[in-house]
Amino acid sequence: MILVVTLNPALDVTHEVDQVNWAGVNRPHRVHVRPGGKGVNVARTLRALGAEVTLAGLVGGGVGRELVTGLDGSGISTALTWVCGETRRTFAVVDTGRGDTAVFNEPGPPVSVGEYREFFVTYERALASCAAVVLSGSLPPGVPADAYADLIAAAAQASVPAILDASGAALAHGVAAGPALVKPNLAELGEVSDQSMERAGQPDADAVVTAAGRLLGRSAGGGRVAWLARAARDHAGRELAGQPGWTGSWQPDWRRRRGGGGARPRAGPAAGLAGAAAACGSARGGDRRGVGSGRVRCRGLPAPAGRSPGHRAAGT
């Protein structure tokens, strides 16, 4: 089983409008509503690939109930912790006439120390029966920036490899705790390194190599693996392949299902890594083939360096 943690899930609401009038009334011709947020999307993709998945995280209010109901029939098991606040929503307005999309992401509900502690207990129990854990997405108010670091430490104590899919301060703190795998995309890598990852609208291979090396340098212990979605390719991929801790890149691949039925995602970056960690067992064996079309090379990775798990909440 792969455990996916989503501390700030969302109910994704998408309005499609022929031509948006930002100063007037708009009448969408199509509305889509479904559970979302990075963690939920990773869990959904893993399940589509045939993996056994449990989703753990924080939900609350009527929106939280709608999110949970939306997961019914998905095949995803849940171990969710309820909070007093209301689960956030994300709104996307798609201008089908102009081909533009505007996205509005709510911050999420405030989480108390007690609520987070209840989640942490649930998380530690779930670790006992999982092959890998994916920590994915943003953090809601009240959950400290180093929360992922504590969750990685708890996973290390349970001998479970942790895959980190985050951004900003949560990524920086989490990397320092020594996850087995870390997956920043271009924007996330640029944010955490405080530099642009592009030159003339294209990935800057030199900047990617430098930033990835610095990111890996923050990790506790050596031999960590960094995956850079869409960033490490061509020259950057070849340069990084010769550096300690680097194994390669994972490309999302959309293909038409045979016999119709529309496009189906194969493995997104974090989803592919999680599947690979499960396939590798303890993520410390030799070369193994992970879920989907990519190859993950688990080069005798040591267990992540642990530290005492706990919650140092900002406020209540």
* Predicted local distance difference test score (pLDDT) of residue 199: 77
pLDDT band, residue 66 (cuts 50/70/90): very high
pLDDT band, residue 208 (cuts 50/70/90): confident
* Residue 168, φ and ψ in degrees, nearest 5: 60, -140
Beta strands in the chain (DSSP E): 2-6, 10-17, 30-36, 53-60, 77-83, 88-95, 100-105, 132-136, 162-165, 181-182, 198-199, 202-203, 225-227, 246-248, 254-256, 263-265, 287-289, 295-297
* Predicted local distance difference test score (pLDDT) of residue 128: 93
pLDDT in tens, 79-92: 999 999 999 999 99
Domain ranges for the chain? 2-9+35-80+108-254+265-297
Average pLDDT over residues 186-195: 75
Judge whether residue 305 has pLDDT over 80.
Answer: no
Average pLDDT over residues 232-257: 44
* Predicted local distance difference test score (pLDDT) of residue 149: 94
pLDDT band, residue 214 (cuts 50/70/90): confident
Judge whether residue 124 has pLDDT over 70.
Answer: yes
Q: Does domain 2-9+35-80+108-254+265-297 have CATH number 3.40.50.740?
A: no
* Predicted local distance difference test score (pLDDT) of residue 103: 94
Judge whether residue 158 has pLDDT over 90.
Answer: yes
